[in-house]
A and B are shown apart, each in its own frame.
Chain A
Amino acid sequence: MSTPQPPVEIDDYKYGFAYPERSVFKTQKGLNADVVRAISKHKSEPEWMLEFRLKALETFFKRAMPNWGADLSDLNFDEMYYYAKPTPKQERTWDDVPDDIKSTFERLGIPEAERKFLAGVGAQYDSEMVYHNMRGDLEKKGVIFSDPESAVREHPEIVKEYFGTVIPYNDNKFAALNSAVWSGGSFVYVPAGVHVDIPLQAYFRINSQSFGQFERTLIIAEEGSFVHYVEGCTAPIYTTDSLHSAVVEIIAKPGARVRYSTVQNWSSDVYNLVTKRAVAYENATVEWVDGNIGSKRTMKYPSVYLMGEGAHGEVLSIAFAGSGQEQDTGGKVVHVADNTTSVITSKSISKGGGTASYRGLIRVEEGLSNIKSRVVCDALLLDEESKTNTYPYIEIDSDDVSMEHEARVSKISEEQLFYLMSRGMSETEASMMIVNGFLDPLVKQLPMEYAVELNRLIELEMEGSVG
């Protein structure tokens, strides 16, 4: 057997396949105002959106790279393609989607999941949503689930009211980048009192090489409504890097509840630099469930601004950092009103020299009363080379605040492995059992299908990597 073993990451990553590039339109390599104009023109956008994009582009060029967080020194903006349109138009049935794209999503299990447990699905391939569909009964109730381009055309009044209000185009360098070249993503509108009882899902797939994907998602949950939105993402493995930089804005009106779950499984050459933020009004609840398994570098801190009394914000962050990976993740909650509560729970696993960092902020504005917040960070190290960091920022400007913070770092110990092996488990199974046990309290809070998916992904990451 003279064939050398491929590196574990590649061997284990089951979604690294690619089909030949098939774009019907693609912008030139690199980024400038012409590229932005070309994207906007191709989408036949109104003038106000083009202006928004160009303003954002200027900000992007002006802003310095962040001097904190994951190491982005190898990220080269000039080597990327910023827009690639895979098909002439979006379809509503899988049969109308071109075969190679359809096969891609079948291999990712999307149509099957749609039949089994989803209320609606959007599937993005490179820059555009190639498929979009939702259950008819939800449409009748007034729920809108589409790509944002359609929303700009069909519901400009809603888009204009909310787009870029939670995350302004000049919020940070990567939000500016997204605002300039955004394409695809989701627009979700849930009317007052409507409960979307099973999840809506968007799936993001990069197929092209040296590619930047910049989806833009806007979710508006009117008073007393409920929606669970789920996203997944994967990409082929190339020798060059790709970039994924999304912006997700959520508006939860009084009494609404929005849950946003991510299982991020980008290939090991993707920079994943995402801004996600929600505002929650009186008695509204926003929950981010953020699983980061893949990517080369991730910087992502889903945030909730608690704007109204009785609002509740929650972030569950799960990160797995393997060889060559840096997961710089966490969450932010800003308390702006009385009687608001928040919980941030972070669990990270580092192996094979990977680095997982928790970075979080709890801020309580001045003069508030009865604020409760709890932050728990647990890190598990699987070996000596791997690293974990914790950066918990707490800024409290009120007196009537109950704030708890716990952080723990543990290692898989030789004694734990020996104990489980003495009962018949192989070393790999024993490690797996310890990792699953570490995640168990958190995974239990996920809907079953996602808990299963997350466990499966972590199992793939663990396979053959221990011992």
Chain B
Amino acid sequence: MVLEIKNLKAKIEDKLILNGIDLRLNTGEIHALMGPNGSGKSTLANILMGHPSYEVTGGEILLDGENLLEMATDQRSKLGLFLAFQYPVEIPGVTVGKFLKRATELRTADGKMDVSKYIKDLRESMDFMEIDQQFINRYLNEGFSGGEKKRMEILQMMVLKPSFAVLDETDSGLDIDALKIVSKGVNKLRGDGFGALIITHYQRILDHIKPDFVHIMYKGRIVTSGGKELVETLEERGYDWVRTKYGIEEDENEHATATS
């Protein structure tokens, strides 16, 4: 499958945040999207999933040629898109087990899921993600630590088996052990039928999940793309290098847009 983002522009409350994004992901590929704070990375993640607060002002998002922008969030999910949230919300009174069962059921072709297989898979995935089985009966994300919430996101991804996953700063706030577990989960899914866009501010998660492609975002645009070597360049030179190299050009563009 292929996920294509073409010249995507978006705003929130009249503030332009995406300024023409082009990106093409195939299943089987892991892409990293890096950039300084405020460059629009999380906005892109939310727009891919259809967050109602953002207004898309131009461009396209296509999944195997189908226009995602015309679809509600739940339809996008059922087509195989997944977002691992940066800040997963608490849903009081809804247990992890009930929630995941329903989410799984919704993507079973005829609605008839094999419940015993589901439970077996869930328990295996929980063991793999080093999540205590007690969490099945806990209310979703309620009272979870930051690390537990992130592991729960990856657990959901493993159970729901999306074609494309967007990981929105899943690494932020994780200690090294939690980071390793989260990475292990993503690597487990890695394969021909799975593609991912890993959004991160830092290099360290990419030491554990080796990206095939790296994109650098700045002021609502992807300013440069390349392979793993780009991470090293960034490591050496820092985001100032991006600001210096692409900042002026970007300001000129902004100016041009404003006056045209």
A413-450: contact bitstring with B at CB < 8 Å (1 yes, 0 no)? 11110111111111100100110111111000000000
Other-chain contact of A434, B78, B85, B94 (Cβ < 8 Å) = B94
Verify A433–B91 contact, CB threshold 8 A: yes
Interface residues of B in 99-113 (CB under 8 A from A): 99, 102-103, 106-107
Q: Report Cα–Cα, A183/B177, bound state, in Å.
A: 71
Other-chain contact of A418, B73, B82, B99, B160 (Cβ < 8 Å) = B73
Select from chain B the residue with minimum beta-carbon distance to A435: B93
Select from chain A the residue with minimum beta-carbon distance to B159: A423
Contacts A414-B52, A419-B85, A424-B103; is A437 near B93 (CB within 8 Å)?
A: yes
B4-34: contact bitstring with A at CB < 8 Å (1 yes, 0 no)? 0000000000000000000000000000000
Interface size on A, residues (CB 8 A): 23
| Chain A contact residues, majority secondary structure | helix
Contacts A421-B73, A424-B106; is A436 near B52 (CB within 8 Å)?
A: no
Please tell me if B88 contacts chain A, counting CB pairs below 8 Å: yes
Other-chain contact of B77, A424, A437, A438, A440 (Cβ < 8 Å) = A424
Q: Report Cα–Cα, A356/B83, bound state, in Å.
A: 36
Verify A425–B103 contact, CB threshold 8 A: yes
Contacts A424-B74, A424-B78, A427-B72; is A419 near B93 (CB within 8 Å)?
A: no
Residue numbers in A under 8 Å from B102 (CB-CB): 425, 433
Q: Report Cα–Cα, A415/B89, bound state, in Å.
A: 7
Please tell me if B156 contacts chain A, counting CB pairs below 8 Å: yes
Other-chain contact of A439, B51, B93, B156, B160 (Cβ < 8 Å) = B93
Residue numbers in B under 8 Å from A422 (CB-CB): 49-50, 73-74, 76-77, 82-83, 85
Q: Report Cα–Cα, A422/B83, bound state, in Å.
A: 7
Verify B139–A419 contact, CB threshold 8 A: no
Select from chain B the residue with minimum beta-carbon distance to A440: B93
Please tell me if B238 contacts chain A, counting CB pairs below 8 Å: no
Chain B nearest CB, measured from A438 CB (Å): 6
Q: Report Cα–Cα, A139/B106, bound state, in Å.
A: 50
Verify B92–A423 contact, CB threshold 8 A: no
Chain A nearest CB, measured from B3 CB (Å): 15
Verify A441–B89 contact, CB threshold 8 A: no
Residue numbers in A under 8 Å from B85 (CB-CB): 419, 422
Chain A nearest CB, measured from B95 CB (Å): 8
Verify B106–A436 contact, CB threshold 8 A: no
Chain A nearest CB, measured from B258 CB (Å): 30
Please tell me if B67 contacts chain A, counting CB pairs below 8 Å: no
Q: Report Cα–Cα, A441/B94, bound state, in Å.
A: 10
Select from chain B the residue with minimum beta-carbon distance to A436: B93
Please tell me if B53 contacts chain A, counting CB pairs below 8 Å: yes
Q: Report Cα–Cα, A418/B52, bound state, in Å.
A: 8
Most chain A beta carbons < 10 A, residue from B73, B78, B103: B73
Residue numbers in B under 8 Å from A440 (CB-CB): 93-94
Verify A425–B91 contact, CB threshold 8 A: no
Select from chain B the residue with minimum beta-carbon distance to A416: B89
Residue numbers in A under 8 Å from B52 (CB-CB): 414, 418
Verify B160–A423 contact, CB threshold 8 A: yes
Residue numbers in B under 8 Å from A426 (CB-CB): 72, 74
Other-chain contact of A425, B51, B74, B76, B83 (Cβ < 8 Å) = B74
Select from chain A the residue with minimum beta-carbon distance to B53: A414
Residue numbers in B under 8 Å from A423 (CB-CB): 77, 99, 103, 106, 156, 160
Most chain B beta carbons < 10 A, residue from A420, A427, A439: A420
Verify A421–B93 contact, CB threshold 8 A: no
Select from chain B the residue with minimum beta-carbon distance to A423: B103
Contacts A418-B52, A423-B156, A425-B102; is A441 near B74 (CB within 8 Å)?
A: no
Beyond A423-B160, A436-B93, list 20 extra A-B contacts (CB 8 Å): A413-B89, A416-B89, A418-B50, A419-B89, A420-B99, A422-B83, A423-B106, A424-B77, A424-B107, A424-B160, A425-B106, A426-B74, A427-B72, A433-B99, A434-B91, A437-B91, A437-B94, A438-B93, A439-B93, A440-B94
Top 6 A-B pairs, shortest CB-CB distance: A437-B93, A440-B93, A421-B73, A437-B94, A424-B106, A423-B103
Residues of chain A touching chain B, judged by Cβ–Cβ distance below 8 Å, are: 413-416, 418-427, 430, 433-434, 436-441
A–B pairs, 30, beta carbons within 8 Å: A413-B89, A414-B52, A416-B89, A416-B91, A418-B49, A418-B50, A418-B52, A418-B73, A419-B88, A419-B91, A421-B50, A421-B77, A422-B73, A422-B74, A422-B77, A422-B82, A422-B83, A422-B85, A423-B77, A424-B74, A424-B78, A424-B103, A426-B72, A426-B74, A427-B74, A430-B74, A433-B94, A437-B92, A437-B93, A438-B92
Residues of chain B touching chain A, judged by Cβ–Cβ distance below 8 Å, are: 49-53, 72-74, 76-78, 82-83, 85, 88-89, 91-94, 99, 102-103, 106-107, 139, 156, 160
